[in-house]
Amino acid sequence: MINVRIEIVSKEENKLLDRVEVTYKAIHQNEKIPSREEARKQLAANLQVPQELIVIDHQEPKFGRNYAEGYAKIYKTREAAIALEPDYILIRNGLKEKKGE
């Protein structure tokens, strides 16, 4: 695993969709940007929730900076995540298998 620190910028509860929405910074000093999987592991450890309940929507590097900004959603159940998120986001986060072509 690369040496990256995840810093929570904001955390809001979305009662309508029954999830918590988190904005974070992935600080990567002299390292590459963390993968979604690495970011999910660190977010799970920081927020003390199971990794399979975290869905990373996007993670964007900031040009000339040593961090990337990201947006993640933490669901109460895996089924809720699968019901609300589009397929391509679920596939990127490893919560759904890509169908054969």
Domain boundaries, the chain: 5-92
Q: Which band of pLDDT confidence, cut at 50, 70 and 90, is reported for residue 1?
A: very low
* pTM for the whole structure: 0.86
What is the CATH code of the structural domain delimited by 5-92? 3.30.70.330
User: What is the spatial distance between Cα 53 and Cα 75, in angstroms, rounded to a whole number?
Assistant: 5
Q: pLDDT per residue over 34-47, tens digit each?
A: 899 999 999 999 99
Please give the C-alpha separations between residue 17 and each of 60, 74, 76, 84, 97, in angstroms, as whole numbers: 24, 11, 10, 8, 24
Q: Which residue has the higher pLDDT, 8 or 29?
A: 8
DSSP 8-state assignment for residue 2: -
Q: Which band of pLDDT confidence, cut at 50, 70 and 90, is reported for residue 90?
A: very high
